[in-house]
Chains A and B, each alone.
Chain A
């Protein structure tokens, strides 16, 4: 074997080892949580309220809270994100203004989650008098989710062949009719994939909901959009740092439920993507 070949083998082995160094901890993290948490995830854990200062009972209110937040986030961010992507792809000219919008998308995605929390707190909780509520939290998470939804929708819209638009326009359809009937339907799968992915991220976020929605301990279900709720990630934060002597199995079980929920949403987006890719027309 020549020297170059030997060097190649060594180099590729090193790269392989580096990759292994990343993959193994990922596996370990998942296995560690599943092994330690699975025993405590029972039906009653999922459906009961926390009892005796969160040292016993379940996490039902936190699960409901997180699901409500995800739905609320979607209600605000999906329409806004899709319309904004439609603007960028179908309406915007290639000028300075469009560059500013694109740069804003990049910067919005880079703003730390805790800064969203601060913003949501001053604007939604205080200025608009929503109080710490599902509404304030959903709006905060929605702004945070916007960049991902816009980017995904933009890519989905751009992937629709240009000829679709030309044909529609040549038949006398208006701009909006073309977008509505000849572009959007084919972009929906990509949009949904990106949306579910960004919502799964919103479900796992803690920092933006710290001061906008999360209740430390609230063993009942919310009655409206202006109520506080418990949320899974915040609950995990609380029981692992703020309250002493919580049985470790409860923390592990909460972490497991949170991870399961997030993975489930990721799985949905992967299945959606695979399903529609098969049916794609071009």
Chain B
């Protein structure tokens, strides 16, 4: 009886395992497919060219305009400044954690990074509204603190754990012999770190930066809460603007299912999907090279 049960149950379980292995591929494919389906519904009514190159996002005016350029530039601008802020900080502290800090301090610093990674984005958004926004407004004498820079600063903060932990892995992964060879030639620890270890870890660090960018582009709640929600082509990081993610989150609740506006938001989602897919693909290439 028991043997019979095993003869029946084992193939079933193994089938489940094989199907589950496929699940991830299916999900990625389905997500793409459904975004594509609803985006195509938009392009049946609204020309693709006007969506991709349109300079105005006016979903509820008559006639509506769904130009994605202002949102795309909003995302690009916020991401650019976030990266400018967080890459030097992240890579610098990864160097400190990996090569300078003594072991006890290293563990403390690593747990700090884990704490940062655990803080929900909506909490940082809340702090942006009540604290960081007003501080920036007073510092730069702005009309409102709800602007691109507030978003960039918070996003930079949020991308740090990704950048630090992957860069640190890359730095620690450099073979011991490299270090020993450099020390043997009389190099100081700093010279070794700067001239030998950092260049050898560059693929891993580039992967860290790419993954950080992916994180920043896709982050929703912080930018929805603090960047001022102005879907216009941004001219300065100190102005209110609107990103791709915030547009979907902010407008989805107000659309009528099946309307042009509704489908336009899926088209925005598709653009977002394409961007993060590319960024992660490049990151994966760098990681693969780093492992070799």
Q: Which residues of A contact B (CB under 8 A)?
A: 4-5, 7-8, 11-12, 14-16, 18-19, 21-23, 25-27, 29-30, 32-33, 79-80, 83-84, 86-88, 90-92, 100-101, 103-119, 121-123, 126, 143, 146-147, 150, 174-176, 200-201, 203-207, 210-211, 233-234, 236-237, 240-241, 248, 251, 255, 258-259, 262-263, 266
Contacts and interface: CB of A to CB of B under 8 A. Distances in A.
Category for how many chain B residues contact A: 35 or more
A105 B26 CA distance: 11
Given A87-B18, A110-B214, A248-B130, A22 B188 contact: no
A110 B280 contact: yes
Contacts, number: 244
For the complex of A and B, the 9 pairs showing the least CB-CB separation, nearest first, are A112-B218, A204-B120, A87-B21, A110-B280, A83-B20, A8-B190, A18-B92, A15-B96, A207-B220
Interface of B: 6, 10, 13-14, 16-18, 20-25, 27-28, 30-31, 34-35, 38, 88-90, 92-93, 95-97, 100-101, 109, 112-116, 118-127, 129-131, 157, 160, 164, 188-191, 194, 211, 214, 217-221, 225, 245, 248-249, 252-253, 257, 265-266, 269, 272-273, 276-277, 279-281, 283-284
Contacts of A123: 30, 34
A80 B25 CA distance: 13
B92 A255 contact: no
B160 A22 contact: yes
B123 A19 contact: no
A18 B156 CA distance: 14
Residue from A91, A101, A118, A122 having most chain B Cβ neighbours under 10 A: A118
B137 to A, nearest CB: 17
A75 B75 CA distance: 35
Given A22-B89, A112-B218, A210-B252, A204 B284 contact: no
Contacts of B118: 200-201, 204, 262-263, 266
Contact of A21 (B89, B115, B127, B248): B89
B280 A112 contact: no
